[in-house]
Structure 1
Amino acid sequence: MSAINRVLEANHKNSLHYDPREVSPHPRMALAVLTCMDTRISLPALGLKVGDAHMIRNAGGIATDDAIRSLVVSHYLLGTNEIMVINHTDCGLMKASESDLHHKISTEAGKPANASVKFHAFHDVNANVREQIEQLYAHTWLKGRVKIRGFVFEVETGRLREVPR
């Protein structure tokens, strides 16, 4: 059975006990998390439950225009007032340069990209966290409106380590 079919089957079972009165688009903790899409960073790993926080995920936990758009919506429309930026050790974006990634994927795909792609490759996880925090603070709709703190999830131990701004 495909992964999608397994998800559909699990969703059907879950829907039998689903109560829309028990969930809300407004995070209980008034928290938004910008993090990497890495599977090791999960709600339970962060001590969170469904409904506690908005999770904005992308490769590298990067404050892209789209991530910022989501965080602005999260704050102004859904009441979040704190943002955690979480990167992690052993990130795939730390293992190759921007040009290496373009070359590898173009070669494997057998053709160049038909639209510009920036991977946001980096080598220093602490510096990358600081860079994302600064990107968020630079946005006039977020600066002074929300608390922003940065962390590294250490995949070797499962612990979060704060990165000072």
Structure 2
Amino acid sequence: MDARIDVYKALGLQLGEAHVIRNAGGVARDAVRSILISQRLLGTREVAVIHHTDCGMLTFTAPDLRNIVKSDAKSRPANVKEAIEKAVDSLEIYEFGHLENSVKDDVKFLQDNLLVLDETEVTGWIFDVKTGKVSQVAQGKLEPNLTCILRLFMLHLSRTFVSIPIDADCEQPSERTSPANEVREKHPSFSDLEQELAT
């Protein structure tokens, strides 16, 4: 929800090319309802969890925020003050103290969540607000070919800003060909895309 970040511009997206779900901290648990709708009603099968550097969620704890809300409520009528305190105490804040770990935790949460379709590829990324680079920090669980397709797609979205090579973690020892090359054989458009990005 950081107002400094234009997600579409940062990833080279046009309106209508992706469902962008935003919340404080980019927390997956807070996005399940939207992901559910995106998948079951609109056909989404790939989810990229993207958090960003210089995130405000790293600067406070859940008790800190609850205390601020309760302090603001002190001047309210007793019954209103009590209701506010109960509401904020029951609210999930989803705090975290380490950026990369928070991405990995969110990816695992979605991969294990029974409401998320089994065939969904979920990966985790960090967007650097200073450099504009997007780096992958959490792998998907599906077959290598599909992971390579998603990597190529993310490279397409971010143009030259992605700090991963096209074959990163895609190649496996093989006498015939690597999974990345299999992707290119089955999906010629991705080979065209690589050539376009290389120029």
Contact 2:49 2:107 in 1 (8 A): yes
Confirm whether residue 113 of structure 1 aligns to residue 85 of structure 2.
yes
**Which residue number in structure 2 is paired with residue 44 of structure 1?**
9
RMSD over aligned CA atoms reads 1.7
Query: For 2:38, which of 74, 89, 99 is the aligned residue?
Result: 74
Confirm whether residue 87 of structure 1 aligns to residue 46 of structure 2.
no
| Structure 1 residue 90: Cα displacement | 1.1
Contact 2:128 2:134 in 1 (8 A): yes
- Provide Cα deviations, 1:81-136, integer angstroms capped at 9, x if missing partner: 11010111111110011111211232234344341222211110000001111111
Q: For 1:69 and 1:63, how far apart are their aligned partners in 2? A: 10
TM-score by length of 2: 0.59
Query: For 1:124, which of 94, 98, 106 is the aligned residue?
Result: 98
Which amino acid letter does the alignment assign opposite residue 123 of structure 1? Answer: G
Which amino acid letter does the alignment assign opposite residue 14 of structure 2? Answer: K
Query: For 2:118, which of 130, 139, 144 is the aligned residue?
Result: 144
| Structure 1 residue 143: Cα displacement | 4.9
**Which residue number in structure 1 is paired with residue 165 of structure 2?**
none
| Structure 1 residue 141: Cα displacement | 3.4
**Which residue number in structure 1 is paired with residue 137 of structure 2?**
163
Which amino acid letter does the alignment assign opposite residue 61 of structure 1? Answer: G
Contact 1:151 1:163 in 2 (8 A): yes
Q: For 1:46 and 1:108, how far apart are their aligned partners in 2? A: 38
Which amino acid letter does the alignment assign opposite residue 113 of structure 1? Answer: E
Where does structure 1 lack aligned partners over 5 or more consecutive residues? Answer: 1-36
| Structure 1 residue 80: Cα displacement | 1.1
- Provide Cα deviations, 1:25-56, integer angstroms capped at 9, x if missing partner: xxxxxxxxxxxx11233211121111011111
- Corresponding residue SS for 1:80: coil
Aligned-residue sequence identity (percent) comes to 39
The structure richer in strand per residue is 1
Q: Which has the higher contact order (CA 8 A, sep 6+)?
A: 1
| 1:90–1:108 Cα change, 3 Å | farther
Larger radius of gyration: 2
Q: For 2:65 and 2:115, how far apart are their aligned partners in 1? A: 33
**Which residue number in structure 2 is paired with residue 60 of structure 1?**
25
Which amino acid letter does the alignment assign opposite residue 9 of structure 2? Answer: P
| Structure 1 residue 58: Cα displacement | 0.9
Where does structure 2 lack aligned partners over 5 or more consecutive residues? Answer: 75-80, 140-199
